[in-house]
Amino acid sequence: MRVITGFVLCATLATVHAQTDFPNKPITLLVGSAPGGSNDIFARAIGKQLQETLGVSVVVDNKPAAGGILANVLLAKAPADGYTLVVLSSTFTTGAAVRKNLQYDAIKSFTPIAMLAKGPMLITVGNNTPFKTIEDLVSFAKANPGKLNYGTSGVGSINQFASELLSEAANIKMTHVPYKGMGPAVTDLLSGQIDMIIASAPSLLSQVKNDKIRALAVTTVDRSEVAPEIRGLKEAGFPKAAVDLWWGVLAPAGTPKPVVEKLNKSINQIITSEAMKSFFVKEGASPVAMTAEAFGNHLVNELDRWKAIALNANIQAD
């Protein structure tokens, strides 16, 4: 009995030491998309700063498959020690709201670490359309149900959810045109093949500033520092259609609380520095520091919201 007790005590002490000594080896940041996207850009920026703050190497590992699902599966199966994390965005919850056969539970399989930032999406139309304001677009859609087309990066994407949220708030009916990525959707908006796109500022803002497409509003309630010249949805009369893009960091379920708290504190210090604030704004977002618990609550609320919208709009994954 004493031998067993001693063994358990040693194991417990070793676990405690590993937690208090964290980190003492390289950390991997999984990203479920190819290099160059916002998740990847944010992961590399945060990783560089974490490396300096924590004193260990931080490696970004891109796993661009299945709309980010592969990276999430790998994280769910990784040791719960804080050395494997994932940087993801709003698509994590929209995808979970419509996909039935995920190899993980979006809430139970992970430990929230920190939110990184939030940013608006832009409601844009082609220059060939007659719409100068969002009121013009809504009036046309009400008079011509289903005639107005909107493009997205795919079924179940945050772009589709934001568009259906606007449809619900404005009591209109539009026709969904899904693409395999935002690039071809923007190309068709420019050429007049589709009428409208709701997408992230990084995807559309340069086209707006170059007068190639027209922005009618941002999807946040109020105007955003990312594009202060564009009206928010409260000002446009549709506050219930508001939606933010967000980016955050998760760890596997069961990650020890001391490790979570250390990572959360380090990340919050990094994202609220003046240099990182400027970096995020240039990338179409604003840093948001919150506790790990608050980020977890945000994920739960988002998932519930998207499930309700998916049911109402009959959004189903392919």
Same structural domain for residues 276 and 212?
no
Same structural domain for residues 53 and 93?
yes
pLDDT attached to residue 204: 87
Q: Where among 241, 274, 291 does a domain terminate?
A: 241
Residue 121 falls in which region: left (phi positive, over 0), alpha (psi -120 to 50) or beta: beta
Q: What is the pLDDT of residues 24-42, one digit of tens each?
A: 999 999 998 888 778 899 9
Tokens read off for 251: 């760890």
Per-chain mean pLDDT for the chain? 90
Q: Bigger pLDDT: 66 or 152?
A: 152
Residue 6, domain extent: 2-118+245-313
Same structural domain for residues 63 and 207?
no
- Spatial strand order of the sheet with 110-119 comes to 58-62, 27-31, 84-89, 245-252, 110-119, 286-287
Residue 318 inside a domain? The answer is no
Same structural domain for residues 167 and 236?
yes
What single-letter DSSP state applies at residue 57? -
Same structural domain for residues 259 and 231?
no
Query: For residue 88, how many other CB atoms are within 10 A of its CB?
Result: 27
Is residue 258 over pLDDT 70?
yes
CATH number at residue 217: 3.40.190.10
Where do the DSSP E strands lie in 99-223?
A: 110-119, 121-126, 149-152, 175-178, 196-200, 213-218
Q: What is the pLDDT of residues 156-182, one digit of tens each?
A: 888 999 999 999 999 999 999 998 778
CATH number at residue 46: 3.40.190.150
Sign of CA dihedral 165, 170, 171, 175: negative
Residue 257 inside a domain? The answer is yes
Same structural domain for residues 200 and 130?
yes
Same structural domain for residues 69 and 177?
no
Q: Give the contacts of 209 (CB within 8 A, at least 6 positions apart).
A: none
291 Cα distance to chain centroid: 17
Q: Where among 241, 266, 289 does a domain terminate?
A: 241
Residue 304 pLDDT level (bands cut at 50, 70, 90): very high
- Spatial strand order of the sheet with 196-200 comes to 175-178, 149-152, 196-200, 121-126, 213-218
Same structural domain for residues 175 and 281?
no
Same structural domain for residues 261 and 218?
no
Helix (H, G, I), strand (E, B) or coil at 116: strand
Sign of CA dihedral 94, 95, 96, 97: positive
Residue 162 inside a domain? The answer is yes
Is residue 14 over pLDDT 70?
no
- Rounded average pLDDT over 183-211: 91
Closest to 152 (Cα-Cα) out of 175, 119, 132:
175
Q: Where among 186, 207, 241 does a domain terminate?
A: 241
Residue 290 inside a domain? The answer is yes
Same structural domain for residues 96 and 130?
no
Tokens read off for 308: 């309700």
Residue 286 inside a domain? The answer is yes
> What pTM was computed for the model?
0.82
What single-letter DSSP state applies at residue 22? -
pLDDT attached to residue 283: 86
Same structural domain for residues 97 and 235?
no
> What is the count of structural domains for the chain?
2
